[in-house]
Amino acid sequence: MITLKDIAAAVKGDLIGDGDIPIDGIAGIQNAVGGKISFLTYGSYLKFVPECKASALIIGRKIPLADIRAVKNLIVVDNPELAYISVATMFQESPVIKPGIHPTASISDTAVIAPDASVGAFACIEDNARIDDNVTIYPYVYVGRNVTIGESSILYPHVTVYRDTSIGRNVIIHANTVIAADGFGYTWDGAKHAKIPQIGSVVIEDDVEIGANTAIDRASLEKTVIGKGTKIDNLVQIAHNVTIGQNSIIVSQVGIAGSTRIGNNVVLAGQAGVRDHVTVGDRVMAGGGTGITKDVPAGSIIWGTPHMPHKDWIKLQIYIKKLPALFERIKQLEKKLSAEDTDD
């Protein structure tokens, strides 16, 4: 049984109320019932507090306590979002995965698999692959030759990892993602598109998470690199020879063209596109649908296509909204000038 004081200790928060009440789960503030704990992260949700039936709330220190009279049991924390991670982990049901190799899996005689790794049904692991401690390979995963997978990493069903890929520790790769397929490289020989051999590799560093249906291409030469702690959403395309730094966020439907360099702590919002051979500096934030066409200095906030400073993009949107009225004014002026010319 988990009590409120257990949760307060886990999130290092200040407990107000009855610490001995049992908590059996988490719920949203609008749908919570007795026995659940909920969160109040934004002041805009204060309007839901009077009707909230949760047994307790976790709130940020910026929320005035006087506004929470409807809930007697509170935990006050510095960062409710980080607290949520801790509490969700307490209630998360981890799947029971037994170490060992399923009898239907195809394992090369030269592959090295740690005794406490788990390899699921119909997985295929090729020559000289190395699977380290506590790795989980779900059913139907393909691991090519010379691939290394660091300890405690998880590959979900139907992930495909081509040859010569290095995957670090605590990496999570979701279903149907393809790592190290050939980069999109061709040259016109006068009659047809001649394929350029893609003989490089891919390196996925520690603590990376890659969403479902994402493709990360092998380098034509050297390496495509995804830096430590970077998180990649579903449906992302990362081309050959791209380097992404540490702790960056790449959101769904982003496309990054070949030989581009993305810095540390960069955020590329949904459907952003980056052309080839561009450098995006550290801490850049690009809004949804941004088309990045040239190098971006570190610390920039950009939007639009072609990309521009966010403030300029906001001004442009205002001008665009005014265009119909401006055209109408021009039409009236043209009529007036035309009438004056006729009078003359």
For residue 245, pLDDT beyond 70: yes
For position 335, what pLDDT does the model report? Answer: 85
pLDDT-derived band at 343, boundaries 50, 70, 90: low
Query: Whole-prediction pTM value?
Result: 0.89
User: Quick check: is 277 catalytic?
Assistant: no
Distance from C-alpha of 155 to C-alpha of 178, rounded to nearest angstrom: 11
Distance from C-alpha of 38 to C-alpha of 56, rounded to nearest angstrom: 7
Is the preceding omega at residue 99 within 30 degrees of 0, hence cis? Answer: no
* CB 108 within 8 Å of CB 114: no
What would the pLDDT profile of 22-37 be if each residue is shown by its tens digit?
999 999 989 999 999 9
Angle at 196 between CA 251 and CA 165, to 5 degrees: 50
Three-class DSSP labels, 121-140: CCCEECCCCEECCCCEECCC
* CB 183 within 8 Å of CB 165: no
**Which residue among 193, 240, 277, 307 is the active-site one?**
240
- The average pLDDT across 50-79 equals 86
For position 337, what pLDDT does the model report? Answer: 85
For position 48, what pLDDT does the model report? Answer: 87
Per-chain mean pLDDT for the chain = 94
Tally of CB atoms within 10 A around 258: 19
> Candidates 3.40.1390.10, 3.40.47.40, 1.10.8.350, 3.90.76.10; correct CATH number of 2-91?
3.40.1390.10
For position 344, what pLDDT does the model report? Answer: 60
Domain ranges of the chain: 2-91, 100-308
Q: Is 2-91's fold the same as 100-308's?
A: no
Q: How many CA atoms lie within 13 A of 133 on its CB side?
A: 0
% of the chain beyond a pLDDT of 90: 80
For residue 296, pLDDT beyond 70: yes
- The average pLDDT across 290-314 equals 95
What would the pLDDT profile of 188-236 be if each residue is shown by its tens digit?
999 999 999 999 999 999 999 999 999 999 999 999 999 999 999 999 9
Estimate the crossing angle of helix 4-11 against helix 80-91, to 10 degrees.
130
Tally of CB atoms within 10 A around 344: 5
The domain defined by 100-308 carries CATH number 2.160.10.10: yes
Left, alpha or beta for 25 (phi > 0: left; psi -120 to 50: alpha)?
Answer: left
pLDDT-derived band at 96, boundaries 50, 70, 90: confident
From 214, 213, 225, 220, select the one nearest 167 (Cα to Cα). 225
